Amino acid sequence: MVENSATAAVKTKEMIKTPSGFNIIWRELMRDKLALISLICLIGIAAFVYGVSLVLDQEEIVRVDLFAIYQSPGEDFILGTDYGGRDVFGQLIIGTKNSLSIAIIVTLMTGFIGVVFGLVAGYFGGHIDNMLMRILDFFNILPFTMIVIAFVAIVPTYSVLTFSIIMAAFLWMGIARLIRSKALQEKELDYIQAARTLGTSNFKIIFKHLLPNCSSLIIVTMTLNLAANIGLESGLSFLGFGFPEDTPSLGTLLSYARNPQTLEYRWWIWVPASVLILILMLCINNVGQALKRATDARQRRG
Amino acid sequence: MRKTNLMKLLFALMLSVLLVLAACSKDSSSDPKGNDTKTEGNAGKDKEKDKGEILFSQDDFEMTTSNSGEPIGGTLNFGLVSDSVFEGTLNWNFYDGDPDSQVIKWFDESLLDMDANFTYTQDGAATFKTEPYETEEYPNGVTIEFTIRDNVNWHDGEPVKAEDWAYSFEVIGHPEYTGVRYGPDFSDIVGMDEYHAGKADTISGIEIVDEKTLKVTYKQSNPSLLTGGIWPYAMPKHIFKDIPVAKMAESDAVRKNPIGMGPYKVESIVAGESVVYSKNADYWRGEPALDKVVLKVVNPKTVVQELETGGVDMINAFPGDQFVDNADMSNVEFLANIDLYYAYIGFKLGTWDAEKKRVKMDPNAKMADVNLRKAMAHAVDTDSIGKKFYNGLRWKATTLIPPSHPEYHDADNPGLVYDPELAKKILDDAGYKDVDGDGFREDPNGEQLVINYAGQSGSDVAEPMAKYFIQAWENVGLKVQLLDGRLHEFNTFYDRVGQSGEDDPAVDVYGGGWGVGSDVNPYGLYGPDQMFNFPRYESEKNSELLAKGVSMEAFDVEYRKQVYKEWQQLMTEEVPVFPTLYALELVPVNKRVVNYTLDRNVNSLYEVGVTQEEPFKAEKKKK
Amino acid sequence: MWKFSLRRILIMIPQLFALSLLIFILAKMMPGDALSGKIDPNIDPARIEELREEMGWNDPWHEQYARWVGGVVKGDFGQSFRFKMPVTEIIGQRIVNSFWLSLVTLILTYLIAIPLGITSGRFNDTLRDHLITGYSYIGFATPLFIFALVMLWVFGFQLQWFPTSGSVAPGLEPGTFDYVASKLYHLLLPAFSMALIQTYSTIQYLRNEIVDTKQRDFIITARAKGASETRVYNNHILRNSLLPIAAFFGYEITLLIGGSIFVENIFGYPGMGQLLVESITLRDYSVVTATTLLFGVASVLGALLSDIILSIIDPRIRIK
């Protein structure tokens, strides 16, 4: 367990600076070659898509070209074209960028809501906890698909950001639950009790003592969530509630496979996106698992 | 340890490759399909015959199966293509979705037959004669006397009687009727209004003369009556008479054990999924050729495989976007007929006045200038759209009466042809010039002109097509943008276009489609007091022509043709909407099936048979 | 214990009430209603308006809601406009299908995941473990709908081992052996498609749990006493690690509901998930609200079940 509470900052993003925790994580990561390769791979892909999409002309890529419909991969188009004659490779790059952005935004937002919610509920306990948990339960019973479809129909502009907000609003419960139970355990420990007796304000205790001690759990959970959030929109695209096509995403490319002809004969449209999702998820997952091992002595490898 | 880590990665990669391979082991066979079909070379890209260049037209298809052989009885498997269940409202008087009608047509049918021009004939289960009905209140009324043939019986052996037919009118007109069928076809019957309002117990205009003879009197005689204006379906009164009208649609007589007078009887139903029919040997046209029919719902995503494996022998409609890849399916024959449909682009010219229940044109509407509308029509290359997006299965539309009505469709009217130069010239002449040099034209007053286009999502090609339209208008210098930057799903789309009368003022142009009825009369879509007149267009000439089309004189087909020819021309000049595409309906039929036809004026469902017990299976596609 | 369950159920009531209100408002905010799909020149718009008025769809939403709640209290969920029959009857038809699909999926998931999870945990950091973990990750990363489509294509059409649509073969008499067999046969492939790639959480949980338990003192003691390895596993480790899996049972319900939407769609299997999505697209609101509410009840009961099981097997989290 990470037992240091020295100088953690308030923001979740900076929690990683908790020295010894960070060191252990780093050491474990360096030791775990697979995780390291995954991390490098991940950074590489991210740098590539964000870099290249700066240069790429999105307008040009989503432009319909009647004379280039369903071209197979070749000289003109590295990965062929879709039914609108649009370059699949370009869409793949921008799509990966968008899907990554969604995953990151959703993860950060759910992380933020979940951590604050969980810490408050866990730390105060009693009635506050009870009330907050009922709210959480309520969100849990919401039929996710139905709500999201309804919101998609209602929001006037449907973009990466609005989509992420809608998603985040209904996906924060898992992490909140985790953090709460961790906080419940922690607050019984001596150092919190001591801080209380000293008259430290609740706010200070939560963010200066409790939060840093949950940091490793938060990082691990968020990393694993990030993996799950890649391709979040693919299911919705499949049901016909995906992004408009001038916002390419991996999910949109993937959902082209619902046309059986595309599934069978035009692999270049959906297979690269599937493989990319697979790689991204595996990479993030590998990193996440390594982090998890790092923070859990019993699972740590030699 | 490290080795195994690497192993893990390798394994993961291997599995993913396997998965991918499993998914697309057929990829390599994606050589150009349909070599025997017409191909059209494209100068620029001749090196590769990709699928976009394989073209079809109506001439490539037959309407009737060409297989020969004697039917042997047996079982036919019919696929109802739908990505949802069929609702199970299995009665002509209550159904409102197409899936249900596909189920009903096997066991119940219209009492009146139609010919190629959708006019009732004397060949059906009932014959009719008309006599004028002239009273002070209704000087132009007409009474139609129907006689049901003697050998027409319900599946339970009861004869189909005049009272059964009259009963349909009584149920649909009933104040507690829950379905959607009530409309002008019914309220035009003398006495129907009073009955519908609950003020009368009977309909005075309907008279049961004897067991097989029925007289129905209409307030106004017009040619539309005989082209689909009469409700031709009876319902078995002896079964329904004890069920309250409000509860009929959910009764077992509709949902679980419906009966009819058609060639096959319902044997069993799995709600929403499948129906088994058996032969009705007592069918009035003759003994049906099959022993059994099994109907099941088939998802459009798997319909090709079902056909290839013989899981179904034929289906109600083939998804057009899957055709090109499967044109060479070896065990079926593709039949085609012109669909009762046209796609169009509409211009919003006003709003709906809910008080007066009619359209209110707005002379200041953004699209009010006919030159602008014309230019926009000339700017789009619908011919290429049909070829590129639909491989010719949809093609350039010219007028607002599709060729599915051969007598009334004006084949000589070229419509507004693709001519971007002409479009530019029209805009220049009308004062739409690019004043501020941003590449887009301003309106004649020099104000920015940004046109909002509303499009419907749903089909795969919807978005590229919308994009294409916008690009085409951009090419003649008009700035058009997608409303809200995206396509709208069906409900939202029609809400904003104005299906409830509350038109969204943000919509300037929209892309719609109409299925046309058997009656050619376009009044329901373009009449000034019609909600479905989405462009909110009216003009004196339009109203006059539409009225003429259903006048007494129009019983003369030549006269009526002339009227609608003028109307089609008027629409080409005034452009409240312009048609973009006509469509083919495609039906693949297993090669063991004989006597099936898409010809709408032939009632030969009972003659459809199979020539062998097992369906043909598709040969493995060549690598 | 009983007190706890009772309290939870009581808390559930206002939650479901809030849920129904939210769903109702959302439904009314969505554009269109069940009649807007009837844009057909053969149907008179005046008749549509008349029907809207009759159904009370033009009333303010709170009046409609009050009417709806009034009905629900009496067990009447209203009439489905699309099917023209009572909502309860529609749901009755579908829920049976969904129940069996979920049950078979769950059984298959456990049949696949538990042995794999145990093997993976027992032989952690060996090749076997890596293979199993690799499989579960790939399952985690594979979109369900693509996988289901591929399964259908391979086993349904290429090999023709399984039926490809519907929940039962046409023309069978309900209640007969053939009928039941046909039902089971129809849901095997969809259930397998779901089960095969949804094993991630169970496998990983079990694996980590076993790895954890292995190093606990009592296991080390047992070993030191000379208990055979098999005995250690069967008597000590498994008992400790498997029980929490049972507790996840309740939570799995929510997961299954989410997955069933895709699988039902692809295999043309008429269940609740398909019903919900269709009803949303066609704006058949009475069905939407009733179905959503039912899903809500299912997940609340599932969570309750999980909590109860958990509190039985793990006294530490026993509820006060």
- Residue A240, C-beta contacts closer than 8 angstroms, at least 6 positions apart: B457, B458, B489, C281
**CATH classification at residue B62:** 3.40.190.10
Q: Domain of residue C218: give its range.
A: 91-317
Strands B274-279 and B292-298: antiparallel
Distance CA A220, CA A289 (A): 8
Among B281, B288, B233, which residue's Cα sits nearest to residue B258? B233
Asked if A281 lies within 8 A of C300 by C-beta distance, the reply is: no
The candidate with the shortest Cα–Cα distance to B571, out of B365, B360, B407, B401, is B401
Please report the pLDDT score of residue A196 as a whole number: 81
What's the pLDDT at A290? 82
A128-132, A200-204, B10-14, B420-424: which range is least confident on average?
B10-14
% helix, strand, coil for chain C, step of 5: 75, 0, 25
In a domain? residue A18: no
Show the CA angle centred on residue C208, arms to residues C206 and C212, nearest 5°: 115
Interface test with B, best of A41, A61, A69, A246 (most B CBs within 10 A): A69
- Count of alpha carbons within 13 Å of B190, Cβ hemisphere only? 23
CB pairs under 8 A between A and C: 109
In terms of domains, do C130 and C230 share one? yes
Indicate the residue of C26, C145, C254 with minimum beta-carbon distance to A238. Answer: C145
Strands (E), B409-493: 450-454, 479-482
CA dihedral B69, B71, B76, B82 (to 10 degrees): 60
Reported as a pLDDT band with limits 50, 70 and 90, residue C313 is low
Evaluate whether A84 touches A252 at the Cβ level (below 8 Å). Answer: no
CA distances from A258 to A176, A225, A255, B505 (A): 35, 26, 6, 36
Q: Which amino acid, one-letter code, is at B510?
A: Y
Residue B208 is which amino acid? I
The nearest alpha carbon in chain B to C42 belongs to B517
B277 belongs to a structural domain: yes
Residue A14 belongs to a domain? no
Q: Do B183 and C46 touch (CB under 8 A)?
A: yes
pLDDT at residue B240, rounded to an integer = 95
Phi, psi at B156, each rounded to 5° = -90, 10
Q: With respect to residue C80, please indicate whether it lies within any of the assigned structural domains.
A: no
Q: Name the packing angle between helices B2-23 and C127-141 (round to 10°).
A: 40
Q: For C63-103, what is each residue's pLDDT tens digit?
A: 888 888 888 888 888 888 888 888 998 888 888 888 889 88
- Name which of A25, A300, A299, A182 is nearest C209 in CA terms: A299
B623 inside domain: no
Q: Tell which of B194, B227, B245 closes a domain.
A: B245
For C259, the closest chain A residue by CA position comes to: A235
- The answer, for C146 touching chain A at a CB cutoff of 8 Å, is yes
Residue C82 forms part of a structural domain? no
Position C83 in a domain:
no
Residues B307 and B351 in one domain: no
- b/e burial code for range A282-301 (CB count within 10 A of at least 16 → b): bbbbbbbbbbbbbbbeebee
Is there a single domain that holds both residue C52 and residue C116? no
Distances from the Cα of B64 to the Cα of B58, B316, B588, C274, angstroms? 13, 14, 11, 36
Q: What is the pTM of this model?
A: 0.82
Where residue A88 falls among pLDDT bands split at 50, 70, 90? confident
Any domain includes A20: no
Name chain A's partners: 3 or more CB pairs within 8 A. Answer: B, C
How confident is the model over C31-64, as pLDDT tens digits?
777 777 777 777 787 888 888 888 888 888 888 8
Q: Which of C26, C30, C36, C39 to mutate to test the interface with B (most CBs of B within 10 A)?
A: C39
Residue in A244, A275, A301 nearest the CB of B20: A275
Q: Does A265 touch chain C (CB under 8 A)?
A: no
Which SS3 state, helix, strand or coil, does residue A180 take?
A: helix
Is residue B619 situated within a structural domain?
A: no
**Any domain includes C23:** yes
Flag whether B621 is in a domain: no
The closest of A155, A59, A91 to B470, measured between CA atoms, is: A59
| C-alpha separations of C208 from A222, A300, B130, B605, C252 in Å | 19, 11, 85, 64, 19
pLDDT on residue B51 = 44
Tokens of C251: 């939570």
**pLDDT tens for each residue of C128-179:** 888 998 888 888 878 888 888 888 888 888 888 888 888 888 888 888 888 8
Backbone torsion region of residue B614, taken as left when φ is above 0, otherwise alpha when ψ lies between -120 and 50, otherwise beta: beta
Give A282 to chain C, closest Cα distance, Å: 7
In a domain? residue A5:
no
Comparing A134-148, A186-200, C222-236, the range with the smallest average pLDDT is: C222-236
Same domain, C143 and C216: yes
pLDDT confidence of residue C316: 57
- In terms of domains, do C42 and C151 share one? no
Dihedral over Cα of B476, B477, B478, B484: its sign: positive
**Largest distance between two CA atoms of chain B:** 102
DSSP H/E element including B75: strand B75-81
Choose the closest CB to B460 out of A66, A68, A83: A83
Question: Contact, B224 vs B184, CB < 8 A?
Answer: no
The one-letter code for the residue type at B87 is E
Nearest-CA distance from C10 to chain A in Å? 12
Rounded Cα–Cα distance for residues B324 and B53 (Å):
10
Question: Most C CBs within 10 Å: which of B94, B299, B529, as the mutation test of the C interface?
Answer: B299
Contact C283/B at CB under 8 A: yes
Taking CA atoms, B6 is separated from A28, A34, B3, C131, in Å, by: 17, 7, 5, 11
* pLDDT per residue as tens digits for the range C10-22: 877 888 888 888 8
Contacts of B426 (CB under 8 A, 6+ apart): B371, B374, B375, B378
B506 CB near a chain C CB, below 8 Å?
A: no
Q: Buried b / exposed e across B566-584, counting CB within 10 Å, b at 16+? A: bbbebbbebbbbbbbbbbb
C270: in domain: yes
The values of phi and psi at residue C86, to 5°, are: -60, 140
User: Phi and psi (nearest 5°) for B253?
Assistant: -65, -20
Among residues B178, B207, B175, B177, which one has the least CA distance to residue B190? Answer: B207
CATH number for B139: 3.90.76.10
> What is the SS3 assignment for A68-94?
HCCCCCCCCCCCCECCCCCEHHHHHHH
Give me the domain span that covers residue B411: 341-584
The verdict on C9 and C149 lying in the same domain is no
CATH code of the domain in which C247 resides: 1.10.3720.10
Q: Identify the residue whose tokens are 């594979």.
A: C142
Query: Is the alpha carbon torsion for B410, B414, B416, B418 positive or negative?
Result: positive
CATH number at residue B382: 3.10.105.10
| CATH code for the domain of A152 | 1.10.3720.10
Residue C16 falls inside a structural domain: yes
**C292 pLDDT higher than 60:** yes
How many domains, chain C? 2
When pLDDT is averaged across residues A187-209 and rounded to a whole number, the result is 83
Is residue A22 very low, low, confident or very high in pLDDT (cuts 50, 70, 90)? low
Q: Do C170 and B309 touch (CB under 8 A)?
A: no
Q: Verify that C68 and C134 share a domain, yes or no.
A: no
Chain B contacts of C156, Cβ < 8 Å? 302, 305
CA–CA dist B125, B160 (Å, integer): 10
- For residue B150 the two structure tokens come to 């003697």
Residue C81 lies in a domain: no
Distance from CA of A46 to the nearest CA of C (A): 18
For residue A291, the model assigns a pLDDT of: 82
Greatest Cα pair distance in chain A: 76
- Residue that wins the pLDDT comparison between B195 and A281: B195
Question: What are the residue ranges in chain B where pLDDT is below 70?
Answer: 1-53, 620-623
Q: Is residue A12 part of a domain?
A: no
Last residue within a domain, chosen from C47, C73, C99: C73
C-beta separation of B464 from A85 below 8 A:
yes
Residue among A40, A66, A71, A255 with most chain B CBs within 10 A, to mutate: A66
Cβ-in-10-Å burial (0-12, 13-18, 19+) of B383 comes to middle
pLDDT at A2 over 50: no
Non-local CB neighbours of B613 within 8 Å, separated by 6+ positions: B72, B74
Higher pLDDT, A146 or C139: C139
Q: Decide if B20 and A260 are in contact by the 8 Å CB cutoff.
A: no
Tell if the CB–CB gap between C167 and B273 is shorter than 8 Å.
Answer: yes
Whether residue C86 lies inside any domain: the answer is no
What would the two tokens of residue B332 be?
């079926």
What's the structural domain count of chain B?
3
Domains: count for chain A = 1
CA distance A259 to chain B (A): 6
Statement to judge: residues C133 and C64 lie in one domain: no
Q: CA dist C269 to B181, B274, C46, C104, C272, Å?
A: 31, 12, 37, 14, 9
Interface confidence (ipTM) of the complex: 0.81
Residue A213 belongs to what domain range? 25-295
